[in-house]
Amino acid sequence: MSDIQLAYDEFQRLVLTTSEGQTFVGVFPVRAFPFSAPTQCISFVDAAGREQYFLGDLQTLSAPVRTLLEADLAQREFIPVIRQIFSVSAGAEPTDWHVLTDRGETRFTLNNEDNIRRMGANGALVTDAHGVRFRIEDANDLDPHSLRILRRYL
CA-based nearest residue to 85, from 43, 14, 3, 143:
143
Q: Which residue has the higher pLDDT, 68 or 2?
A: 68
pLDDT at 17 (0 to 100): 96
Asked whether the whole model's pTM tops 0.95, one would answer no
Instruction: Kindly state the average pLDDT of the residues 7-24.
Output: 94
Contact 27, 45 (CB under 8 A): yes
pLDDT exceeds 70 at position 1: no
Query: DSSP letter at 48?
Result: T
pLDDT exceeds 90 at position 6: yes
Instruction: Kindly state the average pLDDT of the residues 115-129.
Output: 92
CA-based nearest residue to 44, from 61, 62, 32, 60:
32
pLDDT at 105 (0 to 100): 98
Q: What is the pLDDT of residues 62-98, one digit of tens each?
A: 999 999 999 999 888 888 999 999 999 987 889 999 9
Looking at every residue in the chain, the average pLDDT score rounds to 92
